A = this chain, B = another copy of it.
Amino acid sequence: MAHGGGSVQQRGDIDRIVETILYLYTESRRVTKTQAREHGLTGPQISALKILEAMGDLSLTELSGKMSARNSTITGIVDRMERDGLVQRERSLSDRRVVLIRPTDKGRAVAKAVPVSAMEIFATALGGLPTGDRRELRRILGSLADRVRDEIAARGDEDTKL
């Protein structure tokens, strides 16, 4: 009863939304992994191959950007893919600090063999929503992401005090 500005209702919505997003992410990751496994690789490895296939050879930093992970993480992934003969490392001629990652023939073949979307299960579920809901969802999530970006930028400024 005693609460200001409908905060209880709001809080419940927020908790449920956060919970649902975590659930959706976790499940989709599991599905991706399972699918990758059928081809003898891992989720991130499929992603990397797909990106390289689509965009051509990339430097390690460029690849880590596309995968929203740190360079040190991608180094490990590339190490294992190189060990398994899926990609090669090659020093750039123009800037010798740079290492270019290039799929081998085997890597390219595997990339082609795996179905397009790693998020297939998501796509199926989203396809089942009414069109209006799907459009609304896109709009609201987009607006939410913008707000999160702003929040992060604001906090980032505060943290610039090392």
Contacts and interface: CB of A to CB of B under 8 A. Distances in A.
Interface of A: 3-4, 6, 10, 13-14, 16-18, 20-28, 31, 68, 117, 119, 121-129, 131, 133-138, 140-145, 147-148, 150-152, 155
A21 B25 contact: yes
B144 A17 contact: no
Given A14-B127, A127-B10, A140-B136, A23 B155 contact: no
The 6 A-B pairs with the shortest beta carbon distances in the complex, nearest first, are A125-B147, A25-B25, A20-B141, A125-B148, A14-B126, A18-B119
A157 to B, nearest CB: 14
A28 B23 CA distance: 13
Contacts of A145: 20, 23-24
Number of copies: 2
9 contacts: A13-B138, A14-B126, A17-B126, A18-B117, A18-B122, A20-B141, A21-B25, A28-B148, A124-B147
B127 A24 contact: no
B10 A134 contact: yes
